[in-house]
A and B are shown apart, each in its own frame.
Chain A
Amino acid sequence: MAIKRVLTKDFATENLEQLSVYERTGGYSGYKKALEMQPDELVELVKKSGLRGRGGAGFPTGNKWSFLPKGVYPRYLVCNADESEPGCFKDRYLIEESPHQVLEGILIASYAIGCNLAFIYIRGEYLPQHEALETAIQEARQAGYLGKNVLDKGYDIEVILHRGAGAYICGEETALLTSLEGYRGEPRLKPPFPAIKGLYGKPTVVNNVETVANLPHIVNNGADWFTAMGTPTGRGTRVWCMSGHVNRPGNYELENGTPIRELIEEHGGGVWKNRKLKAFQPGGASMMVLLPEHLDVGLDFDAIAKAGSLAGAGAMVVMDETTCMVDAARRYVKFFHHESCGKCTPCREGTFWMANLFDAFEAGAAKASDIDLLLDIGYNIDGRSFCPLGDASTWFPRSVIKFFRDEFLEHLSEKGCPFKKTVQEAVA
């Protein structure tokens, strides 16, 4: 099967970040075409394309747009560039390589939903990417792609770039909106959903960077072209961020449904140092661990969900045979403990408790009952916390207990981490 690339197909072109170069590759033709269409037609087109949100939840983008209440203005588009899931770096790559592609997508989405003011909420640490987008916005404004009366089509659009201040929770759409408004970054009650009452209490669509980057291509090539790629429930391609114990970590755009084996073994060059694959984690820090037996699962929302994990934001963390799964879980739990906003009890207290327990396992101070205690704490957090951050904090550790309970038992019998030695060898 020939490799189909959509978003990254021109990334080899030099100076693609410059407007003139981007235009030479066909840039902004999708936007021009979109402006000739009625906004409703665009919404229908995206619905027909089956494009699903690339931020993690995989919600159909066209449907999300059509939830906006009729006749309520102003309405806002917010592009979520707060990419903060450990293991994810695709948005950074997409912005870095082709900021105009992202911007064009934002302009198309804005036009489709009838918004005249769009926001990009970019992760605070992404300073060069922030600069790239800022330059792109200036270039686009000079070229007349944004501002008043765009390309004489009577459409006004302005894009505001906003830097986050370093909180994982601000990637959650309602927390992002709260933060954008200048408040503490904390999730809001849903309902009302952002489509009804979002930014400043107005109808708002929040779309991920990769989601909007697909739009120029869908507009240019049509829905049928898009649905020809991927799987019936996962059209198009995805950019997978591969990291961990592989020979060639990096971003790989692959058609949805491509087997995981192909990503790791062909594109990633296999597990490093000729070691064996122990486990891998699709989707980012939140998602459940999968085993070598799952290598033939397709890279697709539904297929991965069926296998017992989630595709999430498209990360692929590879772990070789020397990895201590207890320690891996410990690191993730500590991340969630650190990033918990503190709004709801289960996440705030539960992640604190889990972090303590994992430290105890690593230090050899845990008890046999602590394994089931971890599962029980997970049970009391998952589905009980205010937002998915809390839920997600339990998924990886619980899946590790499910598949690697014997490693926990080894930590108990060895009174500490049995992998410490092998890790030291690996470093040496």
Chain B
Amino acid sequence: MAAVQTETVTLTVNGQSVTVPKGTLILDAAKEVGIDIPIFCSHPKMAPVAVCRMCLVEVEKMPKLQPACAVYVADGMVVKTVTDQVNKYQKGVLEFLLINHPLDCPICDKGGECPLQDQTYQYGPGASRFTFDKAHFDKAVPLSDRIVLDRERCILCWRCTRFSEEISGERELALIQRGVHTIIGTYNDEPAQSNYQGNWTEICPVGALTSRQYRFISRPWDLDRTASVCPGCAMGCNIQIDARNNKIGRFQSRENVAVDDSWLCDYGRYSFPNFQRESQERPRIRRNGALEEVSFDEAIGFAADQLTQAGGQVAGWASPSDTNEELFLFRRLFRDVFQSPHLDHRPGALPDPEPEDTSLPIADIEHLDHAILLGGQEVIDAAPVLHLRLFKSQRKGLIVHKVGVGEGKKALDAVPAEAQAVGVLATEANKSAAVELQSRLSKKVKGSVRRLMITTGPNGRGAKDLGILPHLGPGYVSLNGQSGKGRVEWPGAGLRAVYIHESSPLHAFATSDAESMWLPGLPLLIYHRFKSSPLDDLAHVIIPGHAFTEKDGTVTNMEGRVQRIKTAIDAAWVREDWRVMQAIANRLGAGWTYADVAEITAELVRALPPYAAVNQAERVTWSENR
């Protein structure tokens, strides 16, 4: 494909020449040469509004100061961001912004990471000349069960209202009243319903919108920040875990344009209490009907002995929130050590996966002209941040068809034959319908028809890739008649032991009716998990494990992107899950010698070459390697 010729424009900013594509804002052109222009209302994901007036700069031949966030560059433009006039004005506008701002920074959650505070220090006046009573507004207004609004701190930058209009499209927040009495709020003060409210707190340039979960929890400089991946769903949104004193304070977004486009959903963002470790737990084994605390070594020895007695009649379930490294060892433990093919990660019966499961990367949704959501809203519910990408694309012309699973015909009729790029989005439960629709569309439509399957759990895709399945090996290779039994077949299959490895309460081993009849009679249940659950009562061995916040590793999102998670919370008294698996294997004579997670990752990549993608944060693609 020939490179698209982009028209460029050359201008000078503070005497430095810079060449940028036509249609660039002064603000961004200045950034190119490292010149920072202060902003409040401007946001890279939203259309310019130029309401805060913080970014005014001098442009030669223009009589007035110009908003750098809203004026596009022109050839030969001469921009000056540091002049007496600009400096004086910057002090002036900050003085304006602060006359009705409570300046309660010492008790404000935003203090320390607040653009208003930072820019006042950098550009503002040392003191205010305003001597009158400030305009007073309601403080600590609950906007919903998640968000609190302090109307006195609000500087009316419109970021949250624009998010509600331009990014999520829900139009839940609006400006009410006018002039100095302007406030933001919801219609009739009804609680906000959006599933994306947490983003409001992140884009708010002051402490007006704060998360109720994080209120008064920490000062920003006391937080330890760790890059990670959201445990909520298969989307794989990048997050930052902010912890204080080894306790999770909040999840913040960490922009990955290819995945989350810098947003998170509330389901994922506010899921962190599920990963808060409550007690310093020790392993337990059941002796004479009662659980007793033992050391890790003793629990491992006990489990290994019991598993040996079970012979090959052992099944393993690893949760779709485990890391690839854990899953890799889990599979080896079963296939190589126990010689058992009964492996699964699925919550129940799900259609068989295929090697080439996703040909449509998330970011490519923006280049579609028709998207079919097979299953309608359930597709969004399975990966809520998808909605933001879809809505963004809709604003650029994408047509979205929400149809029921049985309404493939309707979708087929709705997409015209001349469509250039069509996407079919469905949860993996509706895979067969999606495959059928894709093939029928391919026959009708001139352009490409691609599919994006929303897998279950943050690493359901990794579990499939790595062969945590009864009938397929790593890389979806056939087992040549060595297939085992899937989870739904286990009750009544004559199994003597089950090993459940579970890292997240969000994707736990939820028992079906048949399973709850079967499990109590099972001779051996090894429950290796992060958080206790009713399964504890049935387990013969309980081994505490790490949550995703407490370990290193990689996870694969639904489009096959392999991303790293890192240890944010120290729980060193709990033995790493992979070490427990290695110890059990070695008790049974395996002789594994992994010294750390990196060695497992390396071996995983050797065993499964497409996973070399991990080193580039790229997508794993199977089709090209087959």
In the assembled complex, the Cα of A373 lies from the Cα of B54 at a distance in Å of 20
> By the criterion CB–CB under 8 Å, are B96 and A350 in contact?
yes
**Which of A338, A344, A360 is B52 in contact with, Cβ under 8 Å?**
A344
How many residues belonging to B are interface residues under a CB distance threshold of 8 Å? 33
> By the criterion CB–CB under 8 Å, are A380 and B178 in contact?
no
Query: Secondary structure of the B side of the interface?
Result: loop
Query: Is B469 an interface residue, CB under 8 A from the partner?
Result: no
| Nearest-neighbor residue (CB-CB) of B52 within chain A | A345
In the assembled complex, the Cα of A78 lies from the Cα of B181 at a distance in Å of 30
> By the criterion CB–CB under 8 Å, are B53 and A386 in contact?
yes
Query: Is B180 an interface residue, CB under 8 A from the partner?
Result: yes
Q: Given contacts A345-B53, A350-B96, A380-B96, are A356 and B132 in contact (CB under 8 A)?
A: yes
> By the criterion CB–CB under 8 Å, are B92 and A376 in contact?
yes
| Nearest-neighbor residue (CB-CB) of B72 within chain A | A191
Query: Is A385 an interface residue, CB under 8 A from the partner?
Result: yes
> By the criterion CB–CB under 8 Å, are B129 and A348 in contact?
no
Chain B nearest CB, measured from A337 CB (Å) = 7
Chain A, 315-361, CB within 8 A of any chain B CB: 337-346, 348-353, 356, 360
B46-62 interface mask toward A, CB cutoff 8 Å, 1 = contact, 0 = none?
00111111101000000
Q: Given contacts A337-B180, A383-B64, are A352 and B155 in contact (CB under 8 A)?
A: no
Q: Given contacts A344-B52, A380-B89, are A352 and B100 in contact (CB under 8 A)?
A: yes
In the assembled complex, the Cα of A346 lies from the Cα of B129 at a distance in Å of 15
In the assembled complex, the Cα of A339 lies from the Cα of B180 at a distance in Å of 10
Q: Given contacts A352-B135, A373-B129, are A346 and B53 in contact (CB under 8 A)?
A: yes
> By the criterion CB–CB under 8 Å, are B96 and A345 in contact?
yes
> By the criterion CB–CB under 8 Å, are B65 and A384 in contact?
yes
> By the criterion CB–CB under 8 Å, are A337 and B93 in contact?
no
- Give the tally of cross-chain contacts (CB within 8 A): 90
> By the criterion CB–CB under 8 Å, are A342 and B92 in contact?
no
Query: Is A2 an interface residue, CB under 8 A from the partner?
Result: no
Query: Is A184 an interface residue, CB under 8 A from the partner?
Result: yes
Query: Is A155 an interface residue, CB under 8 A from the partner?
Result: no
| Nearest-neighbor residue (CB-CB) of B157 within chain A | A345
Chain B nearest CB, measured from A377 CB (Å) = 8
Across-interface contacts of B179 in A (CB, < 8 A): 337-342, 348, 351-352
Chain B nearest CB, measured from A169 CB (Å) = 8
Q: How large is the interface on A (under 10, 10 to 19, 20 to 34, 35 or more residues)?
A: 20 to 34
Across-interface contacts of B180 in A (CB, < 8 A): 337, 340, 342, 348-349, 351-352
**Which of B64, B70, B96 is A353 in contact with, Cβ under 8 Å?**
B96
In the assembled complex, the Cα of A360 lies from the Cα of B96 at a distance in Å of 18
| Nearest-neighbor residue (CB-CB) of A382 within chain B | B64
Across-interface contacts of A353 in B (CB, < 8 A): 96, 99, 130, 132
Query: Is B580 an interface residue, CB under 8 A from the partner?
Result: no
In the assembled complex, the Cα of A339 lies from the Cα of B181 at a distance in Å of 11
Query: Is B175 an interface residue, CB under 8 A from the partner?
Result: yes
Query: Is B182 an interface residue, CB under 8 A from the partner?
Result: yes
In the assembled complex, the Cα of A340 lies from the Cα of B93 at a distance in Å of 16
Across-interface contacts of A377 in B (CB, < 8 A): 92
Query: Is B156 an interface residue, CB under 8 A from the partner?
Result: yes
Chain B nearest CB, measured from A361 CB (Å) = 13
Chain B nearest CB, measured from A84 CB (Å) = 14
> By the criterion CB–CB under 8 Å, are A345 and B97 in contact?
yes
| Nearest-neighbor residue (CB-CB) of B56 within chain A | A384
A155-167 interface mask toward B, CB cutoff 8 Å, 1 = contact, 0 = none?
0000000000001
In the assembled complex, the Cα of A356 lies from the Cα of B133 at a distance in Å of 9
**Most B-side CB within 10 Å, residue of A337, A343, A385:** A343
Chain A nearest CB, measured from B138 CB (Å) = 17
Chain A nearest CB, measured from B186 CB (Å) = 15
Query: Is A379 an interface residue, CB under 8 A from the partner?
Result: yes
Across-interface contacts of A3 in B (CB, < 8 A): none
In the assembled complex, the Cα of A341 lies from the Cα of B179 at a distance in Å of 5
In the assembled complex, the Cα of A373 lies from the Cα of B129 at a distance in Å of 8
**Which of B51, B70, B100, B177 is A349 in contact with, Cβ under 8 Å?**
B100
Across-interface contacts of A344 in B (CB, < 8 A): 50-53
> By the criterion CB–CB under 8 Å, are A189 and B99 in contact?
no
> By the criterion CB–CB under 8 Å, are A342 and B53 in contact?
no
**Most A-side CB within 10 Å, residue of B49, B54, B96, B177:** B96
Q: List 15 A-B contacts (CB under 8 A).
A: A167-B178, A189-B49, A340-B178, A341-B179, A342-B156, A342-B178, A342-B179, A342-B181, A344-B50, A345-B51, A349-B96, A351-B180, A352-B99, A384-B53, A386-B50
Task: Sort A-B residue pairs by CB-CB distance and give the 10 closest, nearest first.
Answer: A380-B92, A342-B182, A349-B96, A340-B179, A356-B132, A352-B180, A383-B64, A342-B179, A342-B178, A345-B53
**Chain B positions near chain A (C-beta within 8 angstroms):** 48-54, 56, 63-65, 70, 89, 92-93, 95-97, 99-100, 129-130, 132, 135, 155-156, 175, 177-182
**Chain A positions near chain B (C-beta within 8 angstroms):** 167, 184, 189, 337-346, 348-353, 356, 360, 373, 376-377, 379-380, 383-386
Other than the given A346-B96, A348-B96, 7 more pairs (CB < 8 A) read A345-B52, A346-B53, A349-B97, A379-B92, A380-B92, A380-B96, A383-B65
